[in-house]
Amino acid sequence: MQPVIFITGATSGFGQATARKFASNGWKVIATGRRVDRLNALEDEFPGIVHGITMDLTDAASIDAAVAAIPEGFKPVTCLFNNGGLALGTQPIPDVDTGQWRTMVETNVMGLLHTTLALLPLIKQVGKGASIINTGSIAQRFAYAGGNVYGATKAFVHQFSMNLRTDLAGTGIRITSLEPGHAKSEFTAVRTGGDFDANEKMYADNDPLMPEDIAEAVWWVATLPDHVNINVMEIMPVCQVPSRPVILKRDDFEN
């Protein structure tokens, strides 16, 4: 039986690169996202191999409809790559837009939860050797100014992944929290409301992770022997290093 991967956020970045990686290596791919033109382009690139389905992670009904629309030839699902997510806003608390907070929670938390629940019956049909890979972030462990709710949603992804593995013990389904660091994608453009110049400046003088690097990691995790589970995979480019906590001087305080 030809294995199948279901990918959220497949229209750019990690998701798009992962769709290409798996389609090029003999897997069928269910690519989901909101940008129909990019889904169509993936289908044209891999006819009969990639099946695109429009889906909005902030809408539970849209997720249910997408899962219901999976063709029989793309069932059951061997791997779920819960990749769709976003960061919005760069301001520290309290100078924030709480609407952006809500969108991040609805996408990064509720979207992941509902997609997982909706796909589980198809993943359980595979059982041993099936995988759920959730895209987290090093932001769940390394706090930074302006990261507030985004970092908190990724901490949720990490802990939910660990608890999901506990709840699915005995099914043979593997669970991984994949936690990248500095990586080139449309991430900063989305975060800044479409400022692609800012996006390019973020990566101009360094060597970030590329979407293809993450696709390689997803491929490795998903194709390991059935008895092997990667709990957490944290990935940084060489140019990014953890740093010690900041010590404020007395003059740094507001009063």
Condensed to tens digits (0 to 9), the pLDDT of residues 213-236 reads: 999 999 999 999 999 999 999 999
In three-state secondary structure terms, 149 is helix
- Residue 193 region, left (φ>0) first, then alpha (ψ -120 to 50), else beta? left
Residue tagged active-site, from 22, 150, 156, 160:
150
Length of the chain: 255
Q: How far apart are CA 247 and CA 244, in angstroms?
A: 9
pLDDT at 188: 67
Q: Which of 83, 97, 99 is nearest to 137 (CA)?
A: 83
| DSSP H helix total and E strand total for the chain | 9, 7
Q: Measured between alpha carbons, how far apart are the two ends of the chain, in Å?
A: 67
Q: How far apart are CA 3 and CA 28, in angstroms?
A: 6
Q: Active site includes 150?
A: yes
pLDDT at 234: 98
- pTM of the predicted model, to two decimals? 0.94
What does each of the 255 residues of the chain score in pLDDT, given as a tens digit? 899 999 999 999 999 999 999 999 999 999 999 999 999 999 999 999 999 999 999 999 999 999 999 999 999 999 999 999 999 998 999 999 999 999 999 999 999 999 999 999 999 999 999 999 999 999 999 999 999 999 999 999 999 999 999 999 999 999 999 999 999 887 666 766 677 777 788 888 999 999 999 999 999 999 999 999 999 999 999 999 998 899 999 999 987
Secondary element (H or E) of residue 38: helix 36-45
SS3 content of the chain, % helix, strand, coil (to 5): 45, 15, 40
CATH number of the domain encompassing residue 237: 3.40.50.720
> How many separate domains does the chain show?
1
Domain with 190 in it: 4-252
